[in-house]
């Protein structure tokens, strides 16, 4: 993967004008754009994909650089039909909650078309106490269980906190899964509502395939500069981390 392909920008905005502006500025510097519930609800997936896919000339194929973050979670039949509808948009990837169960994840996989399916484990906004209250187990134990279920269901990858990456990397049964990591915050960015976080460089060294980054890029501190400046700065940090990994091999 190219360095820029490891950066997925979260378009956490409510209208197409704001999304278009960010995509035009950032398309040369990142690999993918995540379309979350905020934009999906206010605009709608088909309209978002159609609009954003046309930006930047040859930079985009139809939907090829888009990740629909709909977090599908329902009975298997409903998840399967929603997965089919999402795959017909031609997007690069979409996700399903692993807590929906193995059969629901299998339904998503069976209807994914050419898209990749990612399974959400434990949200990065949950601190340890809350994760234990919700799931009845420590966060790492629950993430491992859900990751194993996801692997069994045949998904392409999982979404987890960067703090679970090293632990999951030691589980040989999970080999082959992409590890997509939100909760990534450069040292110069505010943590916000994320709890289990790590810097971009540390997350790559810990085993992340790609990083989902929102506000540190889309709303960077004044001293960092523009969103493009922030993306370039994070890409540089990733490059240093990849070089460190190469020296260790």
Dihedral sign computed on CA atoms, order 128, 231, 52, 83? negative
Q: What is the pLDDT of residue 184?
A: 87
**At residue 166, does pLDDT exceed 70?**
yes
**At residue 131, does pLDDT exceed 90?**
no
Percentage, residues of the chain above pLDDT 90: 73
- Sequence-distant (6+) residues with CB within 8 A of 117 are 83, 93, 94, 95, 96, 105, 108, 109, 155, 156, 157
**At residue 57, does pLDDT exceed 70?**
no
Q: Which two structure tokens, joined as six digits, stand for 160?
A: 């987890």
The Cα-based distances of 27 to 152, 165, 217 in angstroms read: 34, 27, 12
Please give the average per-residue pLDDT across 228-235, as a whole number: 96
pLDDT band for position 1 (cuts 50, 70, 90): confident
Q: What is the pLDDT of residue 61?
A: 46
Q: Which of 34, 47, 71, 179 is catalytic?
A: 71
| Domains of the chain and any CATH numbers | 4-248 (3.20.20.70)
Geometric angle at alpha carbon 242, from 160 and 179, rounded to 5°: 20
The Cα-based distances of 249 to 162, 208, 224, 243 in angstroms read: 21, 17, 33, 10
pLDDT band for position 183 (cuts 50, 70, 90): confident
Look up tokens 């990994």; give the residue.
Answer: 245
How far, in Å, CA of 105 to CA of 96, rounded? 7
pLDDT band for position 58 (cuts 50, 70, 90): very low
Q: Higher pLDDT residue, 178 or 122?
A: 178
How far, in Å, CA of 69 to CA of 232, rounded? 24
249: annotated active-site residue: no
Q: pTM for the whole thing?
A: 0.91
């Amino acid at each position: 993967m190219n360095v820029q392909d490891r950066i997925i920008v979260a378009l956490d905005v409510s209208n197409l004008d704001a999304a278009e502006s960010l995509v035009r500025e950032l398309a040369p510097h990142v690999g993918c754009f995540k379309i979350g519930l905020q934009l999906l609800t206010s605009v709608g997936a088909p309209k978002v994909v159609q609009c954003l896919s046309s930006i930047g000339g040859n930079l985009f194929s139809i939907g090829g650089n888009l990740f629909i973050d709909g977090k599908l979670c329902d009975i298997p039949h409903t998840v399967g039909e929603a997965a089919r509808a999402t795959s017909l948009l031609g997007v690069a990837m979409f996700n399903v909650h692993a807590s929906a169960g193995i059969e629901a994840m299998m339904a998503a996989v069976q209807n994914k078309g050419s898209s990749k399916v990612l399974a959400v484990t434990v949200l990065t906004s949950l601190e340890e106490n809350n994760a234990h209250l919700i799931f009845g187990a420590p966060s790492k134990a629950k993430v491992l269980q859900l990751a194993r279920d996801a692997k069994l269901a045949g998904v392409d990858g999982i979404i987890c906190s960067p703090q679970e990456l090293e632990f999951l990397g030691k589980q040989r049964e999970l080999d082959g899964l992409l590890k997509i990591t939100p909760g990534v915050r450069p040292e110069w960015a505010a943590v916000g509502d994320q709890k289990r976080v790590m810097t971009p460089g540390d997350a790559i060294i810990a085993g992340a395939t790609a990083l989902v980054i929102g506000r540190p890029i889309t709303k960077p501190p004044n001293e960092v500069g523009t969103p493009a400046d922030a993306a370039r700065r994070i890409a540089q940090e990733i490059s240093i981390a990849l070089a460190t990994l190469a020296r260790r091999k």
